[in-house]
C-alpha cells in the first residue's frame, strides 16, 4: 500500500469516529431527545418531580419526550389506559388536584 492510501484510510477512520461521537454524544446532550437507555430514568424523574404515582402496569404505548433547556426542562409522558384506571392512578399518592384547583 502506498502512503497516500494509508493516510486516506486513516483520515476516513477518524472522520467516521468524529461523526459517531457527534451523533451519539453531542446531539443527544443538546437536543430534546430521550434516548432508549434514558427512557426509564426520564419516567422516574417526571413522576417524582410531578408528585405522581408510578405509571400503571397496564399502561400501553408509552412515549417519553422532553422540552426546554437546562433550566426549564419539561418531561412529556403519553400512554394509553382506560378512564377508570387513569382516575385510580391520579388518586393514588398523587398531588395533582385537577384543572382549576385552588393552589
43: exposed, middle or buried (Cβ count in 10 Å: 0-12, 13-18, 19+):
buried
Same domain, 67 and 42: yes
Mean pLDDT of 19-25: 84
Which three three-digit cell numbers place residue 2?
Answer: 502506498
- Distance of alpha carbon 85 from its chain centroid, rounded? 24
Query: Residue 21: which domain range?
Result: 1-30
Phi, psi of 21 (to 5 degrees): -60, -45
Same domain, 49 and 86: yes
Q: Which residues contact 51 (CB under 8 A, 6 or more apart)?
A: 94, 95, 96
Check pLDDT > 70 for residue 10. yes
Same domain, 6 and 45: no
| Residue 43, pLDDT score | 87
pLDDT in tens, 33-91: 777 777 888 888 888 888 788 888 888 988 888 887 778 888 888 999 999 988 888 88
Cβ pair 21, 64 in contact under 8 A: no
Same domain, 49 and 24: no
The confidence band for 103, taking pLDDT boundaries of 50, 70 and 90, is very low
Same domain, 67 and 23: no
| Residue 92, pLDDT score | 78
List residues bridging with 78 in a β-sheet.
63
Same domain, 19 and 42: no
Mean pLDDT of 85-102: 70
Cβ pair 79, 65 in contact under 8 A: no
Same domain, 18 and 37: no
Query: Does residue 102 or residue 66 have the better pLDDT?
Result: 66
Amino acid at each position: 500500500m502506498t502512503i497516500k492510501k494509508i493516510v486516506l484510510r486513516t483520515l476516513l477512520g477518524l472522520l467516521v469516529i468524529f461523526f459517531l461521537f457527534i451523533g451519539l454524544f453531542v446531539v443527544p446532550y443538546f437536543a430534546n431527545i430521550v434516548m432508549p437507555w434514558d427512557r426509564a430514568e426520564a419516567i422516574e424523574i417526571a413522576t417524582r418531580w410531578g408528585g405522581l404515582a408510578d405509571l400503571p402496569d397496564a399502561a400501553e404505548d408509552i412515549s417519553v419526550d422532553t422540552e426546554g433547556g437546562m433550566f426549564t426542562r419539561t418531561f412529556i409522558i403519553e400512554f394509553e389506559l382506560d378512564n377508570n384506571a387513569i382516575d385510580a392512578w391520579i388518586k393514588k399518592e398523587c398531588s395533582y388536584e385537577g384543572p382549576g384547583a385552588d393552589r
